[in-house]
Amino acid sequence: MEKRKITYREAVNQALHEEMERDEKVICFGEDVASYQGVFKVTEGLLSKFGNDRCFDTPIAESAIVGTAVGAAVTGLRPVIEIMFMDWIGLTVDCLVNQASMMHYLWDGAVTVPMVLRTQGGAGSSGCCHHTKSMEAWLYHIPHMKIVMPSTPYDAKGLLKASIRDNNPVVFIEQKLLYATTGEVPADEYLIDIGTADVKKEGSDVTIVAISKMVQEALEASNELEKEGISSEVVDPRTLKPLDMETIGNSVRKTGKVLIVNEAFRTGSVASDIGIQIQEECFDYLDAPILRVTAPDVQPPYAKSLENLWLPGKDTIKEKVKELVSK
């Protein structure tokens, strides 16, 4: 299959274009997604190609954006909406938690809610507290809500196309610093099944389960550790709900030691839940306590120097892997 090297941003943009071409029921709306083509230019070209009926701007009203999407979805459309920064996801919670996630269950399958909420999360751009948080744990707690967090252009395109075709509400989280990263993406159409993890790098001494941009940090740490004789396997869940515990478990059973890396706040993080699931399923195979690398329970600072200290990174990952190996 022919492949091309493109950016993460281009991969998401291609997925939107292809799915809107394939199915006229797919529509796109949100703040600045049409005339401005998105604050990160991810929706570039959609308005000029598909017109204002299928790609349009909305008022600055996150609850209204999601409420409109839920209504559109249950009446036969497939809306892909954008909440500009995930920090504002709290404004959408009533519509997401009390409507979108429940309708299929409450109506015994007679109603589906095929909508995708795209949003940008994560730190590293000096966006301060209102533009840098990773809030996936809020929605991870809710049944019937799928959560996707791809780390590469290949994964982003394949998973977004699959998310748009899914009949359930999907929250698709893009770490904003990934937009400029590049990777090979097939020229032909492909999909990635939601709920399938990917082993980004094989190893034998330690399993590193890394989420979103932390996959890059984990791979850099793993490559540097390899020069010191430590072999680490990097597993990317790609989707948090459903979570591919089979792939994660197989890796942990092989290595016997596991580190979970999640950019979000430490308390109540997704890393914590993945850790307890590993403990429940793989306890007899563990040769050391499960360790986590996360952001501290402190709001993200604005100053770049402080933000760099706040963010988890390869150096902390290396330190924790060495701690595991020594046990």
Buried b (16+ CB within 10 A) or exposed e, 77-96: bbbbbbbbbbbbbeebeebb
The yes-or-no answer on residue 131 being catalytic is yes
Catalytic residue of the set 17, 104, 131, 141: 131
Contact criterion met (CB below 8 Å) for 230 and 321: yes
Catalytic residues: 131
